[in-house]
Amino acid sequence: MKKLCMTKLFGGPQLDRFFQIREQETLKLLKSLVDKSREGKPCDIGEELSVFASAIICRMVIGNICVENPNLPIEISKLVGDIMENAAKFSFNEVFGPLNRFDLLGKGKRLVSATRKYDELLEQLMKKYDDNFDNLINSRDEEQNDLMFILMETYKDTNAELKLTRTHIKKFFLEMFFAGVETTATAMQSAITELINNPSAFMKLREEIHSVVGSNYRLLKESDVPKLRFLQAVVKETVRLNPSYSNLAGKAMRHSDSWEKPDDFFPERFLADSMDNNSDHHPTMDFKGDHDFRFLPFGSGRRACIGASHGLIVTHATIGALVQCFDWEVKDDAKIENELETGPIIVRDCTISGYKIPAKTRLFLDIWSLGMDPNHWENPLEFWPQRVAVKLHTTRVTREDWSGNSNMIDVRGRHFHRIPFGTGRRSCPGHGEGPGRTLPRAHSLVRIPVSRPSPFRPLDIEL
């Protein structure tokens, strides 16, 4: 599936064909903002950008049908939002506990209802493509080759390397909306927030845009972005401060050993010819993360985000247009707090293990180190499953503590030295799916004999 995405869905030529879609939706966004400005109405930029990103994804996926039904992107976005909202409400016990079959709070019923509505809508859309597929094949009009057409073509090709089912296509589009809408909208909202809070950077970016676009008042285009070096630096600094995920890479992008004043918004750090006295310059860093692991906004290697190119194209052009066309003001000159940053925030001054932590400090938890702490785990590098079957004590877990009749340690983060899925409001909403996939594989070990090839030693097999 990834090969199909990289070659036919998110490859350079395919993204180029979607240029007009991005341009048209950008004009719609700007017109909506102009109308609100003339009427003196406040603007919810987060909502506007979310609708904008959703409309682009919808037209890329089912562009032919979106022309017939302009309200379809909003309808799909609402259904996907309902699925995400209802799926995030489940706890581990509600999925695997003794009362999971009863659905006492009705969460399962609401999730099934939202999923069924999405499935019915996608089935209707796919049927329309089925009915018109022969006409689309005969016309060979590349402008009509949206993502649904490409996948349906693969689905119907009996000789295709990848065998797709209708369920695969439905799930793929669901993941497209999960990963491609809110992440892009969040990045753009974060950039605008940072620029409003830093007027000097805002004016510097506007001056650069005017110097490239010229005095003919034309709107910034995607082809102008390679010439706008400060705009590229603004986007890099935005995703460094506000990554769309919370993990060790997010921590590395704010580490004081790699970045000077890591919590400050300072786009000039990505410019080679900056005249600022700050010595923290990283002009050669790119978004791929292949050469410098201090900057990994989209991951790296085989697991890197496959939609990064699309997200960057939309983000650069949209941020440039919003800065070029509008003067942004905040009510009562208040400073906007960027609530999109990841990681817990200390709400008041406190002391942790002797360290004084001031209010509004953002913490990044090294979950891997917690699971390997010798103060809590005896021989932490040793694979010893029995250790997780003991009752947790305030001291570290030893072999003498283990008892087959003791309680299992759960994975919901109630014990802070074992939080594989996070804890509290920010815990992984899909953690219940992990045991559901793991247990059947564990059961197979009982039936299928497994052995290590004789030439190999345990040290030769490294994860």
Concatenating the DSSP letter of every residue in 292-355 gives -TT--BTB-GGGS-TTHHHHHHHHHHHHHHHHHH-----GGGPPPP-TT--S-B--S-EEETTE
Q: Are residues 30 and 166 in the same domain?
A: yes
Domain of residue 162, residue span = 2-180
The three-point CA angle 57-58-59 to 5° equals: 95
> What's the mean pLDDT in 398-422?
57
Question: What is the Cα–Cα distance from 250 to 271, expressed in whole angstroms?
Answer: 21
User: Would you state the pLDDT for residue 203?
Assistant: 94
Q: What is the mean pLDDT of residues 287-308?
A: 76
Of 71, 70, 63, residue with least CA distance to 18: 63
Percentage of the chain lying above the pLDDT 70 cut: 68
Average pLDDT, the chain: 76
Tokens 């406040």, located at residue: 42
- The rounded Cα 178 to chain-centroid distance in angstroms is 8
Find out whether 14 and 307 touch, Cβ atoms under 8 Å: no
Distance CA 23, CA 399 (A): 64
The first and second tokens of residue 219, run together, are: 């709107």
- CA 267 from chain centre, in angstroms, equals 22
The residue that leads in pLDDT, 376 or 67, is 376
- Please indicate, yes or no, whether residues 261 and 320 belong to a single structural domain of this protein: yes
The Cβ-side half-sphere exposure at 2, using a 13 Å CA radius, reads 6
Question: Residue 250, Cβ neighbours under 10 Å: how many?
Answer: 20
* Tokens, residue 6: 């990289």
Residue 327 falls within a domain, yes or no? yes
Pairwise CA distance, residues 157 & 163, whole Å: 8
Per-residue confidence band for 415, with pLDDT thresholds at 50, 70 and 90? low
Of the two residues 97 and 68, the one the predictor is more confident about is 68
**Whether residue 134 is found in the same domain as residue 34:** yes
The last residue of one of the domains, among 146, 180, 214, is 180
Verify that 104 and 152 share a domain, yes or no: yes
Does 176 lie in the same domain as 293?
A: no
Exposure string of 175-188, with b = 16+ CB inside 10 Å and e = fewer, is ebbebbbbbbbbbb
Over residues 193-207, the mean pLDDT reads: 93
CA distance 275 to 268: 9
Q: Does residue 98 sit within a domain? A: yes
Clarify whether residues 30 and 140 are in a common domain.
Answer: yes
SS3 for 18?
coil
Domain boundary, last residue among 333, 356, 386: 333
Q: Is 428 annotated as a binding residue?
A: yes
- Considering the domain architecture, whether residues 240 and 173 belong to the same structural domain is answered as no
Domain identity same for 324 and 373: no
The per-residue pLDDT for range 49-66, each reduced to its tens digit, is 988 998 888 888 887 677
Give the pLDDT confidence score for residue 439 in this predicted structure: 56
- Residue 245 per-residue DSSP state: S
Percentages of the chain per state (helix, strand, coil), in multiples of 5: 55, 5, 40
* Residue 292 reports pLDDT greater than 80: no
Whether 441 shows a pLDDT value over 70: the answer reads: no
Tell me the per-residue pLDDT of 342-369, one tens digit each, with 9 for 90 and over. Answer: 444 445 677 777 777 777 666 666 777 7
| Count of beta carbons in the 10 Å neighbourhood of residue 422 | 18
Report whether pLDDT(174) > 80.
Answer: yes
* pLDDT exceeds cutoff 90 at 195: yes
CATH number of the domain residue 7 falls in:
1.10.630.10
Grade residue 442 by pLDDT with cuts at 50, 70 and 90. Answer: low
d(CA 420, CA 371): 8
The residue among 234 and 137 whose pLDDT is bigger is 234
> 326 and 384 share a domain?
no
Q: Are residues 103 and 157 in the same domain?
A: yes
pLDDT at residue 390 greater than cutoff 50 = no
| Structure token pair of residue 132 | 């018109």
Question: Is the pTM value of this prediction over 0.95?
Answer: no
169: phi then psi, degrees, rounded to nearest 5: -65, -40
Does residue 93 sit within a domain? yes
Report CA torsion sign: 48, 51, 53, 55. negative
The band of 80, judged by pLDDT with boundaries at 50, 70 and 90, is confident
Mean pLDDT of 16-41: 90
Structural contact between residues 308 and 298, judged by C-beta atoms closer than 8 angstroms: yes
Structure tokens at 424: 């509290």
Last residue of a domain, one of 180, 215, 249: 180
Separation of alpha carbons 15 and 461, rounded Å: 41
- Residue 407 banded pLDDT, cuts 50, 70, 90: very low
In a domain, 199, yes or no: no
DSSP character at residue 111: H
Give the number of domains in the chain. Answer: 3
Q: Are residues 124 and 173 in the same domain?
A: yes
Q: Answer yes or no: are the C-beta atoms of 250 and 362 closer than 8 Å.
A: no
